[in-house]
């Protein structure tokens, strides 16, 4: 079936946050693409001009570590976003028990993630929905961030245009405390969770509710004190938690090198004002000291 005369629809790839995703062939280029169909039919205002303008911005967001938005068009009351097709994602890599991740492999995956983020943060665009299944992997091993900026344009399906945009396990503490003025630090926290997940080969902080998520964070890093994070007590959903001391980070990541642990702790800083930036993280000695990040074409991938 043809879509907008240019794309030949193939099978359904999956159901995502915003709607169905199809595999398709771009008849103009012969390229395989993924088309994300976003339901907007019933919405009173339709796709407003702000959304269209922001999507145009995303089309200009070109970087080797960001998935390319090739095309965008309305069709039968749905908005169609056309992306380059990607073979697998980081979640599949982390979950695959046949894959051994060497320290250089983990470094390479984290570096590509941070490079993609750095490009967007330079343009003041936040991702806000970083999780391993949003980090797609192409045929040459390149990791590319998907769904950039969509959280802001379309909101989350459960609570539109609120702070609840993250998959909970990757959500920064300021979001869990209901902040309305968040910044690039929310992506750094999520990237730290992904870094930890690469090291542990399982999600690091698996909260079963927002309250439990904070509990998991405090159990790992200790309850934040107001001196550590002065603005915390003014956040909308702030409640005082029972004090828990921080265990040594080393005890949670016995396999990590000292450099890895140092970077991890700087990315997991409570006060978003003190949290390391993506650019600073890329300049951290973890990336300059050996082992070198693995060449993407040599990275292990699911069979």
Stretch that binds ligand ADP, among 11-19, 52-60, 192-200, 250-258 (CB under 6 A): 11-19
Between 34 and 191, CB nearer to ligand ADP: 34
Nearest distance from residue 146's CB to ligand ADP, in Å? 5
Between 33 and 263, CB nearer to ligand ADP: 33
Residue nearest ligand ADP (C-beta atom): 16
Q: Of 80, 113, 300, 285, which is closest to residue 195 (Cα–Cα)?
A: 113
- In contact, 131 and 203? CB cutoff 8 Å: no
Between 24 and 235, CB nearer to ligand ADP: 24
Q: List the interface residues with ligand ADP, window 88-107 (CB under 6 A).
A: 89
- In contact, 176 and 214? CB cutoff 8 Å: yes
Our separate counts of H helices and E strands in the chain read: 11, 9
> Could you give the angle at the alpha carbon of 270 between the alpha carbons of 274 and 249, nearest 5°?
110
Out of 3, 7, 17, 198, point to the residue binding ligand ADP (CB under 6 A).
Answer: 17
Query: Among this protein's residues, is 89 annotated catalytic?
Result: no
Q: List the interface residues with ligand ADP, window 31-60 (CB under 6 A).
A: 34, 36
Give me Rg for the CA atoms of the chain.
20
Helices 103-122 and 185-200 cross at an angle (nearest 10°) of 170
Catalytic residue, chosen from 63, 89, 105, 129, is 129
Binding mask 114-153 for ligand ADP (x = CB under 6 A): -------------------xx-x---------xx------
Between 21 and 52, CB nearer to ligand ADP: 21
Q: Could you give the C-alpha distances from 66 to 47, 83, 260, in angstroms and in order?
A: 24, 10, 24
Stretch that binds ligand ADP, among 78-86, 120-128, 198-206, 236-244 (CB under 6 A): 78-86
Binding mask 256-275 for ligand ADP (x = CB under 6 A): --------------------
Name the helix (H) or strand (E) containing 82.
Answer: strand 78-84
Stretch that binds ligand ADP, among 15-23, 103-111, 251-259, 283-291 (CB under 6 A): 15-23
Between 66 and 235, CB nearer to ligand ADP: 66
> Could you give the angle at the alpha carbon of 254 between the alpha carbons of 259 and 294, nearest 5°?
50
Question: Is residue 13 at the binding interface for ligand ADP, with CB under 6 A as the rule?
Answer: yes
Between 17 and 111, CB nearer to ligand ADP: 17
Q: Of 110, 121, 258, which is closest to residue 196 (Cα–Cα)?
A: 110
Stretch that binds ligand ADP, among 12-20, 95-103, 252-260, 288-296 (CB under 6 A): 12-20
Stretch that binds ligand ADP, among 58-66, 69-77, 82-90, 263-271 (CB under 6 A): 82-90
User: 252-259 — which CB contacts under 8 Å span 24+ positions?
Assistant: 252/220, 253/196, 253/199, 253/200, 255/199, 256/199, 257/103, 257/286, 259/284, 259/285, 259/286, 259/289
CA distance 120 to 127: 8
Token digits of residue 94: 């982390």
Give the alpha-carbon dihedral of 23, 27, 29, 34, to 10 degrees. Answer: -10
Between 3 and 214, CB nearer to ligand ADP: 3
| Residue numbers annotated as active site | 129
Binding site for ligand ADP (CB under 6 A): 13-14, 16-17, 21, 34, 36, 67, 83, 85-86, 89, 133-134, 136, 146-147
């Amino acid at each position: 079936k043809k879509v907008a005369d240019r794309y030949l629809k193939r099978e359904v790839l999956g159901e995502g946050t915003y709607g169905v995703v199809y595999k398709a062939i771009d008849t103009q280029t012969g390229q395989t693409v993924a088309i994300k169909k976003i339901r907007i039919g019933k919405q009173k205002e339709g796709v407003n001009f702000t959304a269209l303008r922001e999507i145009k911005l995303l089309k200009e967001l070109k970087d080797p570590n960001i998935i390319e938005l090739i095309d965008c068009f309305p069709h039968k009351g749905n908005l169609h976003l056309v992306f380059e097709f990607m073979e697998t994602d980081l979640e599949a890599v982390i979950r695959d028990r046949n894959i051994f991740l060497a320290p250089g492999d983990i470094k390479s995956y984290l570096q590509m993630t941070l490079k993609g983020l750095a490009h967007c943060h330079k343009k003041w665009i936040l991702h806000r929905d970083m999780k391993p299944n949003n980090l797609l992997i192409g045929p040459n091993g390149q990791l590319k961030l998907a769904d950039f900026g969509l959280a802001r344009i379309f909101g989350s399906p459960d609570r539109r245009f609120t702070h609840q945009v993250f998959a909970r396990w990757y959500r920064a503490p300021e979001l869990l405390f209901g902040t309305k003025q968040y910044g690039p630090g929310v992506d750094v926290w999520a990237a730290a969770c992904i870094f930890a997940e690469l090291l542990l080969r399982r999600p690091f902080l698996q909260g079963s509710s927002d309250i439990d998520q904070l509990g998991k964070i405090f159990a790992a890093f200790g309850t934040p004190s107001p001196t550590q994070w002065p603005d915390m007590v003014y956040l909308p959903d702030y409640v005082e938690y029972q004090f828990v001391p921080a265990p040594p980070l080393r005890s949670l990541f016995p396999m990590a090198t000292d450099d890895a642990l140092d970077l991890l702790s700087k990315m997991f800083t409570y006060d978003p004002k003190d949290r390391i930036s993506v650019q600073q993280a890329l300049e951290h000695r973890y990336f300059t000291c050996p082992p070198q990040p693995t060449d993407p074409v040599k990275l292990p991938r699911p069979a």
